[in-house]
Amino acid sequence: MQDMKGETMIRIFKTIDGKIHQVEEASEGCWLALTDPTATEIFEVARKYHIEVDDLRAPLDEEERSRIEVEDDYTLIIVDTPILEERGEKDWYGTIPLSIIVTDEIIITVCLEDTSVLGRFMDGRVRNFYTYMKTRFILQILYKNASMFLHYLRIIDKKSEEVEEKLQESTKNKELIELLELEKSLVYFTTSLRSNEIVLEKLLKVERIKQYPDDTDLLEDVIIENKQAIEMANVYSGILSGMTDAFASIVSNNLNIVMKFLATVTIVMSIPTMIFSAYGMNVNLKGMPFASHPEGFAIVIVLSLLLSLIVAFIFSKKNLF
């Protein structure tokens, strides 16, 4: 099934001879990956695998909350996954819902757009991944999801350091806005990670998701990885919040320094202006100093410059420059 651009909206994958392959027809032990499916595709999958249409549509709503629901014919798991989006020629970070639907026959994932988490499985870059081992597949998705949060959090930290260097000399709001955008991304991440943590805790109690001995360690790793991401997001969020407040004051102080410099220069430059304005008045020249002197013009210029230099020297001593 394809969209207008020719991109397959429903992709079917199956592990054959230990390797992941994209196949044309779904069979038992397959993985159906739905990316921004159309209404027709949703109805077809819902009818074929006896899944509620609303459950298939749920992850297409960006505001959908993370949760687990156990139905008669399937189990629905919805978590938030991190995404990279481009706004104003810059990369920013957010989250969107990702659902995992497990039936007796196959496993289905539904997401609004392609994500780097699922892309690793599609490209065969995940070791010990088999589409027919549904429990392990779920845990591997959740583990890679938590790892991707950590990866993006480290990138956000590096970006904040780059913006920090620019802000030290900045008098504009551009860098502050960048910090606020990064802080907003951290808020999204923290909220999503906490919601995912609740899902992981409930996953421990779902009997239908069989936990084999080999998968127990993986589930523990998923929970630990998610907790680390939460802690890291909280730390970075606190640092970024304090940094934003501090640099807001720095930007304001930089602007005050510029204004002080301009005011000082204006005062120094006003001295020659006052003198020249006095000589330009329509009055009797006999009352003006050096008016009759052959070198009067040069003397007035030199005196004006000397007075300006003296005032500039006084201001420099008072650190007004």
Task: Give residue-wise pLDDT tens across range 133-190.
Answer: 888 899 999 999 999 999 999 998 888 888 777 766 655 667 777 878 888 889 899 9
Give Cβ neighbours of residue 210 (< 8 Å, ≥ 6 apart). Answer: 135
For 83-112, b/e burial (b = at least 16 CB within 10 A) is beeeeeeeebbbbbbbbbbbbebbbbbbbb
Angle between helices 213-279 and 296-317 (to 10 degrees): 150
Query: In the beta sheet, which residues pair with residue 10?
Result: 34
For residues 279 and 106, which has the higher predicted lDDT (pLDDT)? 106
Number of helices (H) and strands (E), helices first, in the chain?
Answer: 7, 7
Of 255, 206, 231, nearest in space to 100 by CA: 206
pLDDT tens column, 248-288: 677 677 778 778 888 888 888 888 888 777 777 666 666 67
Distance CA 170, CA 174 (A): 9
Question: Using CA atoms in the order 165, 170, 173, 177, what is the torsion angle rounded to 10 degrees?
Answer: 0
Give Cβ neighbours of residue 129 (< 8 Å, ≥ 6 apart). Answer: 15, 20, 121, 136, 137, 140
Determine whether 179 is exposed, middle or buried from the number of CB atoms within 10 Å of its CB (0-12, 13-18, 19+).
buried
- Written as six digits, the tokens of 186 are 């951290």
Question: At residue 34, what is the residue type?
Answer: L
Domains contained in the chain, CATH given: 10-254 (3.30.460.20), 255-317 (1.20.58)
This prediction has a pTM of 0.74
Distance CA 148, CA 98 (A): 14
Contact between 225 and 217 (Cβ < 8 Å): no
Say whether pLDDT at 3 is over 60. no
